[in-house]
Amino acid sequence: MIKGFSAAAVAAGIRYEGRLDLGLIYSDTPAVAAGVFTTNRVKAAPVLLDMERLRHGRAQAILVNSGNANACTGDAGMQAALATSAMVADRLGIDADLVQVASTGVIGEPMSEEPFARAMDTLVGKLSSDGFDDLARAIMTTDTVPKTARTTIEVDGHEVNIFGVAKGAGMIMPDMATMLCFVLTDAQIVFPELRRMLVAGVEQSFNRITVDGDTSTNDSVLILANGAAGNPWIDEENRAAGELFAGALDTVLKDLALQIVADGEGATKLVTIRIVGARDFEGAMSAAQTIANSALVKTAFFGEDANWGRIIAALGRSDCPFSPDRVGIWFDEVQMVENGQGCGPEAEAAATRVLKKDRFTVTVDLYDGSESAEVYTCDFSLDYVKINADYRT
């Protein structure tokens, strides 16, 4: 239970009939709000509208649909975003500026307001503190499971709850991906701190995952903090409470990010790529991302093949400087490469056993410094191609 929040979802027939595709989150009172959005140059209409409205740092409702991304839809798309948010505001009796909108689905299809208009009364009427499971389902596209996470902490004697819901399975890559995430908390927290913690948390979670190296036009992470917990304000001076809250927020964000990778389109394995011993952090991140996005590395994971040659080849085309004759590579605890060369058939047999697991870590030590970076990826399976060759048909 996140005090003071309710949610609902309905099947509005936006793209398919009989499937939950329109959701609403509502806070009883205007909440402090912050957001992080796609870095793609092409931004969907709802992203542009949300960014504008969040300048005030306040929001009270989030209207979200699947089935249509409302991206590359021009002025008509922006009109649709404005009109549908006005419908919500009207029914709820709040200012339209307090309504955030989010869309996910196919890019470039005109966004009709009609399904929204027909469904709006039912949607608002269904708002309930039990509505979050439906909402988590309504935002799914190629996701196979709904994704939620929650945690409770005690801040200065007050129970504070954080709840997050997310969607995302393809077009996933550091810098956000086709993903939506809404975090709700009843904490009382000032806007600058909330925004700072969200940005830092996203950097360590959603910006560290990749499914296919593609980013999207619609990525959005929104957080609403309505203060219903009644805790003393978390602000710059209340450091202990701030750190406690930030840690809990990070946990929820990381939990959701890993759920997204594990549910990556066609994925059968969740793999952590960890670079250690790098000269600088940027190099470590480049190395981790290049390995995590290599089609050859990811298909080898799917084939349960400890093909470290592909890992070292990907490393070699990254922006990370290193000496090829120093590199060490481990699959979980099994060292497979030492000084840039293979450790032999026994190590390979042991590494192959690691690759049969659902989750494992590939560690690459560059022995060139003390910086490190981690990226979370999945394998690249036949089903990924099937899903993406058929998506619109």
Nearer to a second copy (CB atom), residue 251 or residue 290:
290
Minimum separation from the CB atom of position 202 to a second copy (A): 17
Which residues touch 81 (CB under 8 Å, ≥6 apart)?
A: 45, 46, 49, 70, 101, 103, 111
178 included as an active-site residue: yes
User: Cα–Cα distance between 161 and 167 in angstroms, integer?
Assistant: 21
Minimum separation from the CB atom of position 136 to a second copy (A): 24
304 is in an annotated binding site: no
Using CB under 8 A, list all residues that contact a second copy.
39-43, 69, 71-74, 106-110, 170-171, 175, 212-217, 293-296, 299-300, 302-303, 305, 307-310, 312-317, 321-322, 324-325, 337, 339-342, 380-382, 384-386, 388-393
Q: Among 38, 142, 178, 290, which one carries the catalytic annotation?
A: 178
Minimum separation from the CB atom of position 146 to a second copy (A): 23
Two structure tokens written together for 379: 């394998």
What are the Cα distances from residue 236, in Å, to 42, 87, 190, 245, 347? 35, 37, 9, 12, 51
User: Cα–Cα distance between 284 and 10 in angstroms, integer?
Assistant: 44
Minimum separation from the CB atom of position 103 to a second copy (A): 12
Which residues touch 278 (CB under 8 Å, ≥6 apart)?
A: 284, 287, 320, 322, 366, 368, 369, 371, 372, 373
Nearer to a second copy (CB atom), residue 162 or residue 300:
300
- CA 258-296-329 angle, 5° bins: 70
40 is in an annotated binding site: no
141 is in an annotated binding site: yes
Q: What would the 3-class secondary structure string for 204-233 be?
A: HCHHHECCCCCCCCCCEEEEEECCCCCCCC
Nearer to a second copy (CB atom), residue 73 or residue 251:
73
178 is in an annotated binding site: yes
265 is in an annotated binding site: yes
Nearer to a second copy (CB atom), residue 259 or residue 286:
286
User: Cα–Cα distance between 230 and 37 in angstroms, integer?
Assistant: 29
Minimum separation from the CB atom of position 338 to a second copy (A): 10
185 is in an annotated binding site: no
Residue numbers belonging to the annotated binding site: 141, 167, 178, 265, 388, 393
Binding site, annotated residues for substrate: 141, 167, 178, 265, 388, 393
Q: Which residues are catalytic?
A: 178
